[in-house]
C-alpha cells in the first residue's frame, strides 16, 4: 500500500493534469448535450403550442382518417381507370377519311372512304361511292391493319391514315395491303 501511495506522490502532477483534461472534456460534453436538449424543448413547445394532448390526438385521428379516405378513393380511381382502359381498347378511336371523285364526270369529291380502327388496328372501312343517280356503300373488314379483300388506292390511303393516327410519320407498307 505504501508503494502505491509513493507512486501517486511521484506522478501527482501528471495525474492532476490528466484529471483536469478529463473534467474539461466532460464539461464540453455536458454543454453540448444541454444545447441539444434546449433545441428539442423549443421544438416541443412550438409543436405543443396552443394544443393539449387530446386536441393533438383528434388532429392525428382526423389526418389518419383523411389518409384512409384518400387510399379508398385511390383504389376506386384505379378500378375506374382499368375499366376505361378496357373500354378504350375496344373502341374505334383511330380513323382516317379520304374524299375523292369516284367518276370523272362528277366533281365536288362527294365520294369518301372512312376507316375506323381500334388499338390493334382492327375495324372496318366504309366506302361511299356517289354517282348522279345513286349512292353505294361498301364495308370491308380490317383485321390487324390488313384486309382480306383487295383495296382501292383511296381505301389504302384511308387505312394508312387510320393506322398511323396519332403517330407522326411512320413507315407503313402500302404494297402489303394491295
What cell numbers appear for 95 in the block? 380513323
108: left (phi over 0), alpha (psi -120 to 50) or beta: left
Q: What is the pLDDT of residues 89-130, one digit of tens each?
A: 889 989 999 999 888 777 778 899 999 999 889 999 999 998
Q: What is the pLDDT of residues 131-155, one digit of tens each?
A: 888 889 999 999 998 888 899 999 9
pLDDT band of residue 33 (cuts 50, 70, 90) is: very high
Write the CB contacts of 130 (distance below 8 Å, at least 6 apart in sequence): 102, 106, 110, 111
For residue 108, what pLDDT is reported?
A: 79
What cell numbers appear for 73 in the block? 378513393
**Whole-number average pLDDT of the chain:** 86
**What 3-state class would DSSP assign to 102?**
coil
For residue 169, what pLDDT is reported?
A: 46
Tell me the sheet residues that pair with 127: 113, 138
Which strand (E) or helix (H) includes residue 16?
helix 12-48
Q: Where are the domains of the chain?
A: 12-87, 94-177
**What 3-state class would DSSP assign to 96?**
strand
For residue 54, what pLDDT is reported?
A: 63
**Global pTM?**
0.53
Nearest-angstrom CA–CA distance, 92 and 164: 14
pLDDT band of residue 173 (cuts 50, 70, 90) is: low
Amino acid at each position: 500500500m505504501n508503494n502505491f501511495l509513493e507512486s501517486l506522490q511521484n506522478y501527482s502532477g501528471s495525474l492532476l493534469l490528466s484529471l483536469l483534461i478529463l473534467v474539461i472534456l466532460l464539461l464540453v460534453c455536458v454543454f453540448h448535450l444541454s444545447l441539444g436538449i434546449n433545441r428539442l424543448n423549443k421544438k416541443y413547445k412550438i409543436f405543443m403550442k396552443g394544443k393539449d394532448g387530446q386536441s393533438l390526438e383528434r388532429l392525428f385521428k382526423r389526418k389518419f382518417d383523411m389518409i384512409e379516405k384518400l387510399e379508398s378513393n385511390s383504389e376506386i380511381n384505379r378500378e375506374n381507370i382499368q375499366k376505361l382502359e378496357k373500354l378504350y381498347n375496344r373502341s374505334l378511336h383511330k380513323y382516317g377519311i379520304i374524299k375523292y371523285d369516284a367518276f370523272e364526270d362528277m366533281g365536288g369529291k362527294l365520294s369518301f372512304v372512312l376507316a375506323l380502327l381500334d388499338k390493334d388496328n382492327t375495324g372496318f372501312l366504309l366506302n361511299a361511292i356517289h354517282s348522279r343517280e345513286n349512292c353505294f356503300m361498301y364495308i370491308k373488314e380490317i383485321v390487324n391493319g390488313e384486309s382480306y379483300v383487295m383495296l382501292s388506292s383511296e381505301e389504302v390511303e384511308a387505312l394508312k391514315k387510320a393506322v398511323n393516327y396519332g403517330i407522326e410519320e411512320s413507315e407503313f407498307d402500302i404494297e402489303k395491303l394491295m
